[in-house]
Structure 1
Amino acid sequence: MKRSALITNPRVVSLATITTVLLGVTALAIFAQKDDTAVADGPGSQALTVRWQSIQPEPGYSITRAFVGRVEAQQESQLGFEVPGKVKQLLYREGDRVTAGQILARLDTQLLEARREELRAARDQAQAELDLADIRLERITRAHKRKAATDDELDEAQQSRLAAAANLARASAGIQTLEVELEKSELVAPYDAVVAAKHIDAGQVVSAGTTVIELYDIERPEVRLGVGGGLLEDLAIDQTHEVSVNGQTLTGTIRQILPARERVGRDVDVILEFDAQLDGIRRGDLARVQIEQAIEQPGVWLPIQALTEGVRGLWSVYTIERGPDDNGTAVIRRSDVEVLHPESNRVFVRSALPAGTEVVVGGLHRLAPGMEVRPADTEIDAP
């Protein structure tokens, strides 16, 4: 009966329950502290052991910016005949590859060839007239020496000879012009290329300069992208940058930075070229270019675990202030910082803290300004 009375006593039950809960909480706290950055130093110790890192000022930081450009051919041409006429032949289709000097299309040259024969006949006639004028001039000249011909007759013979020579020269020049027109009646590839488009079919009459075929260079494509802002100051000819096209990661070299800005976006076109011919990349593909920009802004790098939320939207860090006596303990101080640039596991901040200041890393939720802690024996590595 006494045993049963002890069990049913409310005060005894309440005391046992409280003791059990306290023991459980204490055990959980000790277990949690083993995984936390700030942990108890040992039984009976009031100072928490904290990890720390000393800060080193940097003159600035760099960020990687991504720009999207378009793959272009180094050479793109819209070819047309320099003379008018009717298209007789188109020798290649869209997508065909051609080499420099190959004939791409021809005009009908029947009229030109007939005109050439006519001019050749005129040249022969002019040559015969010149020969006759030479004979007559020679005869008049001998007669004039014997006083058998007047000065007027000699002058007339000389002028007739000059006129015949001019007619011969005009006929010869006409033939040369016609030969050039016949040569221009063939459309020739100026470089190794791919036929991008065909705008005219055989049988159509075209005027001089009408686009017949479009070509683009296939040897070494290039990337054109617009860059604005202060990033241009960090770019220079022959710089290399990482370029991603269709899942391929390539190295592009800046070939040219154009001297003018776009009227709308105010960007400047930057052209990058590749060192070799590329497979699987086509004109018009989108290219992603990674460009690193240097920011000149003094500050320090900190692990992201060193930040704690401050007041008025600012961020703060806890610093370690070691005492004059070497007893292994220190006092926590709070200092505000301004985040300038975040990365995955670290941040670049602006701070008034001097070089070598020891900053607590991790476990900040267990700390408060003025709290006594025990710094770890060794500094953690910078991120």
Structure 2
Amino acid sequence: MPRDEFSASTKRYLAQSAGYLCSICSKLTVGPSSESGTAVSLTGQAAHISAASGGTGSRRYDSALSPQERSAADNGIWLCSDHATLIDRDEKRFTIEYLKDIKQAHEEKIRLKQSGVNIENGLITKIELSNFGKIDKEVTLNFTDRNIIYGNNGVGKSLVLELIASLSDKSYLDRWTSSSRPKVNSFCNIHYFKNQSNKFNISIDRQDQLSYFFNNASMPFLLPTMSILYISKSYWDHLSEMPDKERDEKSNISLVSSYFKLTENELINIIGSITRDKKLFFNDIDYDKESRDIIVKFNGPKNDFYRPFSSLSHGETLRVILEITIKIAHYYSKFNSTILLIEKTGFSSIDYAGINVLLKAIYNEKQDFQFFLASVDIDDYNTEGFNVYELSITDNGNVVACLKELNIKDL
């Protein structure tokens, strides 16, 4: 029986779309050859997913395919020589569906890498949602490792961040499952990539019943594979929610640690690491054991001087909080895939220059966590290197997401 072989252009396409890496083990399959100044050594193969012919020993042969379909790129996968041999010796393990899933995940990994996205720690690549708040029709947003979502109040910026945060704390879904919400079927798909694509689904029916799915399989609850740090309210809002007596009796180190849900000792250790490392906003931040307060170093006209946290302005206080936030996310990322979600309203006293210091650090320092910022506007932000979405409401009342092509400002 004749074989429906791939053409040279199809083989080249399969190799290039796989980044010349084996789709199973990511082994590099191309390199220089010593035969000539222009020669290369190619050790990969364009393997058929469904066999090229139906002869003896053929694996996964599908007689329903036409010769053109059998020799098309959709029926091919790029592999190293070892795995090209292995898949044709074990068709029970390497089924058609399994190989197609492997190919799709590998090509997604190559696409993200080519875009400059750090995928080694994992990240959320896409969110699809409908019938939440003012979002009546499905809205889709594609993400990279650095993201900004902006738009007027009420269009769904916080909603997107809350749905992501709900993967680690379902209390963020409380207002979307309350009896006062419109009686509609709401759904959200959150796509997460680490080595392979995964999909978390959150559904709320007309009776406000919450359901979870992972890769389309029903789950009683979700066990996320990432750490999520969500800064949704300001430090001052946190203090205002505490009883006056409790707030007055606590030291500043105790108040700040409660804001981050850390023990005092954990926060003191975080501050110690900030003292040793590069700073974002201040020359130095330290802990004063006697006063149990954070102290911050400033540059004076004659000499440097320290001020206690309790004497800082709102904007200075929030810069300290933001410095600690970034450091906590940094430590989270050493142990697990980490996502940092920040509402600009939580840092409303920080001016545009301060936010640009943050964005510059996120971009230039190549942080190992995925970053999201929700803001009402970005007119004075330096958004170089960020994936920026605008959420807006059309004339007919639908919320739409627009990926913005922005002018790059000087750092």
TM-score over 0.5 for the alignment?
no
More strand as a share of residues: 1
TM-score (norm 1): 0.18
TM-score (norm 2): 0.17
Find the structure with the greater CA-based Rg: 1
